[in-house]
Amino acid sequence: MATRRTHHRGRGTTDDDERQEAPEADQEGARSSNAGAGSEAAKRPAMERAEELADRLGEQIGHYASVVGYNVLRFFARAREEAEDIWAEAQSIRRGGKPPEA
């Protein structure tokens, strides 16, 4: 890995030179990340994207919920109609009529 780094920095650098420079670079990065304004500006687009994603997810869930609700209503309407038919057929048989042929 040292050879790869020397290609980036030039022929005269060694790992020791890079180790000495690394703490200073880390401190500068920490100062800039703690600045506040820069980090909030970077977070804002991510927050907006997250809000948009949550909105789209909510719309999709609402759509699927309405489709499922509609199908449940159709199922119960058909079940009620079948129950009414069975009830009417039972009443007809009870009154002495013969059962209708299928």
d(CA 62, CA 28): 47
Query: Which residues have C-beta within 8 Å of that of residue 99, sequence separation ≥ 6?
Result: 89, 92, 93
DSSP 8-state code for residue 36:
S
Looking at residue 46, its pLDDT comes to 87
d(CA 82, CA 88): 10
Reading the block at residue 48, the tokens are 């907006």
Q: Give the range of the structural domain holding residue 9, as residue numbers without chain letter.
A: 1-34
What are the mean pLDDT values of the chain's consecutive 10-residue runs (102 residues total)?
47 51 52 56 78 96 97 98 95 79 63
Looking at residue 99, its pLDDT comes to 62
Looking at residue 51, its pLDDT comes to 93
**Is there a domain that residue 101 lies in?**
yes
The pTM score is 0.46
Name the domain count of the chain. Answer: 2
Same domain, 23 and 49: no
Same domain, 50 and 76: yes
